[in-house]
Amino acid sequence: MQLGKGVEWCTHICGMLALVPTGKGLSAEALADFFEVPSAYLAKQMQLLRRAGIVESVRGKGGGYRLARGVDAITLLDIVQAIEGPSPAFRCTEIRQNGPCGLKRKDCKAPCEIASAFAEAEEVYRDALRAKTLAAINAEAAANGSPEHFIEVAQWVQRQVS
Amino acid sequence: MQLGKGVEWCTHICGMLALVPTGKGLSAEALADFFEVPSAYLAKQMQLLRRAGIVESVRGKGGGYRLARGVDAITLLDIVQAIEGPSPAFRCTEIRQNGPCGLKRKDCKAPCEIASAFAEAEEVYRDALRAKTLAAINAEAAANGSPEHFIEVAQWVQRQVS
DNA sequence: TTTATCCGGATAAAATATATCCGATTAAGG
DNA sequence: CCTTAATCGGATATATTTTATCCGGATAAA
């Protein structure tokens, strides 16, 4: 059970997009260079973020990606679900309906106890991710990281958008 | 992000193995028939359960699988980790060390804020699965299911081991 | 000895994740 | 208007993982 690489990439990228001045954008190419990830594949992931309404894109010269809403309105869950899709990790194929002692479908309106338990576990997982906003992540990073590095990144962003 | 089918299969199977009389066992073939899943592939999953110490196997004629410990000492987390392995779902590839503003490795002794957030979320997920024992699952199933079906399953097990 | 079963490895097919490319479209600027 | 830069969307290709099968060997009961 693994999350795609796009989840890591896009979370870091969204954190950095918070530094982009209003009205500007960073191109997928620039983002790929910044993190040394394949640009064509990253572009696909950015499309997923865009369709989910997390970032918005500006086409044409000088265009690029920017956050579609404030950092306190974007959670890690938003990003994970944008990249990974909505389907749960545990797949219930209703094998209780199979075999010599299989239950009738009409007796299976409620999910079985096993599926319920996994659904609950995934719910608390999602709750934990939902509780983490980009704002909180960035605040922690600012508190833990060196001011020099922060300035370095901010200046790199400035060069890209100017 | 998906769990393998083996997780569903093996959880149901472990629940049923609780009905096996002491000293007996159910063959992989019988288990595969009961749930209509591919027997050769199921056998592989059963080996994972065995290596994790969840079930024990008896070779030779009349052999098969049985639980290696009590139902109150087996949790859903035990089964998931036996099948899926120990690696976390979120893969941190330390992309903060990449690119023009990459951090030096010596400044990355602590995990980044993003990796930490995902680690915490997975922790509560595991906690939830750890809190669910096979005993609890089976008790719920007995309470929710029909007594007739329970007897039907118990009789099927009897036929297999006799 | 025969039969039933687990064990382990090799192999293969199918599905998914990862990655690349290209034409269409859109917008800025001369 | 035209050129250029950039995203978008689709088609395609590669790598990895999941799913599945098979077989020879070991083991134990009848």
CB < 8 Å to B149, chain A: 101, 103, 107
CATH hierarchy code of domain B5-161: 1.10.10.10
| Positive/negative CA dihedral, A71, A76, A77, A83 | positive
Cα angle vertex A75, ends A88, A53, to 5°? Answer: 85
The strand ranges marked E within B44-117 are 55-58, 64-67
Cβ contacts of A54 within 8 Å, gap of 6 or more: A14, A67, A68, A69, A74, A78, A79, A82
Nearest 10 degrees: CA dihedral of B65, A112, A122, A131?
-150
In this model, does residue B27 exceed pLDDT 80?
A: yes
A40 touches strand C (CB under 7 A): yes
Cα first-last separation, chain A: 42
Mean pLDDT over the full length of chain B = 96
B44 touches strand D (CB under 7 A): yes
Nearest Cα residue to B13 out of B39, B1, B23, A28: B39
Domain locations in chain A? 5-161
CB contact under 8 A, B121 and A110: no
Nearest nucleotide by C1' from A91 CA?
Answer: D18
In this model, does residue B162 exceed pLDDT 90?
A: no
A70 touches strand C (CB under 7 A): no
Percent of chain B, pLDDT > 70?
Answer: 100
Beta-sheet pairing, B64-67 with B55-58:
antiparallel
In this model, does residue A57 exceed pLDDT 80?
A: yes
Backbone angles phi, psi at A13, to 5 degrees: -65, -45
CB < 8 Å to A12, chain B: 95-96, 114
C-alpha dist (Å) from residue B103 to A7, A116, A135, A153, B94: 20, 43, 21, 11, 9
pLDDT, mean of residues A36-55: 94
Question: What is the pTM for the complete model shown?
Answer: 0.94
Per-residue pLDDT tens digits for A8-28: 999 999 999 999 998 889 999
Best mutation target, A118, A123, A133, A158, to test chain B (most B CBs within 10 A): A118
* Residues 5-64 of chain B in contact with strand C via CB under 7 angstroms: 25-30, 43-44, 46-47, 50, 57-64
